[in-house]
């Protein structure tokens, strides 16, 4: 028999009551809950911590969950599997919603145009506001795809900091748009490029040809 992660951290927390321990379960709604907690899900409730014990199925060892262990489960509300989340699990957790936060990316990236855009001559410098991009895309997603489909500010971040001229600038922003944000919005409106055009506009989508305008993205 091998101890699982949950059992191991419970033991560590139990023998070190003066410190806090944290178990983070990413995308808990995609996990196999019986395999994560075994038969112990009832013991994670606040009022049962250290007050109740269970005999483990295989080892017959008496087991309890210490009060200094904190369990954090993350979920993505854009994921359809969240609607099937077991109510027994849901009611044992407090819930905190984390919505896109444009203030995390209040940066402007400098860029020199390589061709005429809106009548500006080539070589004209402009500033691109990440905050404005996120706010405006999400306004359109909110209206056309629903509240839960809004994109997060992390798409415009690198290693916990906003994309800036110092950490990738326009090249990184272009990469995130081309490889992450545009494909995600295309997935929202599968085989419906006209709806993608409503979100991203003429600058990125040719609604007649129903393709991404790569030349504009390169610029």
Q: Give CA angle at 116 (115, 117), nearest 5°.
A: 115
Phi (first) and psi of residue 24, to 5 degrees: -105, 120
Instruction: Evaluate whether 114 touches 131 at the Cβ level (below 8 Å).
Output: no
Which pLDDT score, from 0 to 100, does residue 84 have? 60
Is the confidence at residue 24, as pLDDT, over 90? yes
What is the pLDDT at residue 137?
93
8 Å CB contact between 65 and 50: yes
In the prediction, which pLDDT does 102 show?
A: 92
Report whether pLDDT(12) > 90. yes
> Encoding tokens for residue 112?
């020199």
pLDDT in tens, 111-142: 877 665 566 666 677 888 999 999 999 999 99
Q: What is the pLDDT of residue 191?
A: 81
Question: N- to C-terminal Cα distance for the chain?
Answer: 58
Task: For residue range 69-97, list pLDDT tens digits in order.
Answer: 999 998 877 666 555 666 777 778 888 88
Q: What percent of the chain has a predicted confidence (pLDDT) above 90?
A: 28
Phi, psi of 126 (to 5 degrees): -140, 160
Mean pLDDT for all residues in the chain: 85
Residue with tokens 């003429």: 202
How far from 137 is each of 25, 145, 151, CA to CA, in Å?
A: 30, 11, 8
**139-148: average pLDDT:** 90
Select from 209, 77, 212, 214 the least CA-distant residue to 147.
77
When computed from its CA atoms, the radius of gyration of the chain, rounded to whole angstroms, is 24
pLDDT at 78: 66
Q: Mean pLDDT, to the nearest integer, of 146-166?
A: 90
CB 99 within 8 A of CB 142: no
Q: How many CB atoms lie within 10 A of CB 92?
A: 18
Q: What CA–CA distance (Å, rounded) separates 156 from 54?
A: 46
How many other CB atoms are found less than 10 A from the CB of residue 73?
A: 20
Q: Is 62 helix (H, G, I), strand (E, B) or coil?
A: strand
Of all residues in the chain, the percent with pLDDT exceeding 70 is 88
Helix (H, G, I), strand (E, B) or coil at 206: strand
pTM of structure? 0.71
pLDDT tens for each residue of 27-66: 887 877 777 776 677 888 888 888 898 888 888 888 899 9
pLDDT of residue 3: 83
CB of 78 closer than 8 Å to CB of 149: yes
């Amino acid at each position: 028999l091998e101890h699982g992660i949950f059992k191991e951290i419970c033991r560590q927390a139990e023998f070190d009551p003066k410190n806090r321990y944290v178990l983070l379960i990413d995308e808990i709604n995609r996990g196999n809950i019986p395999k994560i907690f075994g038969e112990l899900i009832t013991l994670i409730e606040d009022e049962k911590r250290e007050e109740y014990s269970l005999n483990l199925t295989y080892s017959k060892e008496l087991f309890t969950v210490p009060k200094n262990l904190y369990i954090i489960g993350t979920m993505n509300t854009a994921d359809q599997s969240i609607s099937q989340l077991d109510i027994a699990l849901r009611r044992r957790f407090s819930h905190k919603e984390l919505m896109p936060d444009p203030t995390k990316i209040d940066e402007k990236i400098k860029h020199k145009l390589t061709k005429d855009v809106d009548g500006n001559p080539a070589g004209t410098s402009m500033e691109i506001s990440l905050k404005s991009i996120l706010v405006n895309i999400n306004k359109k997603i909110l209206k056309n795809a629903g509240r839960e489909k809004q994109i997060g500010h992390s798409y415009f971040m690198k290693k916990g900091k906003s994309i800036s001229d110092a950490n990738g600038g326009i090249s990184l922003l272009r990469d995130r748009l081309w490889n992450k944000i545009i494909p995600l919005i295309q997935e929202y409106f599968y085989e419906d490029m006209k709806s993608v055009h409503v979100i991203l506009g003429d600058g990125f989508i040719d609604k007649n040809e129903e393709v991404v305008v790569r030349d504009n993205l390169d610029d």
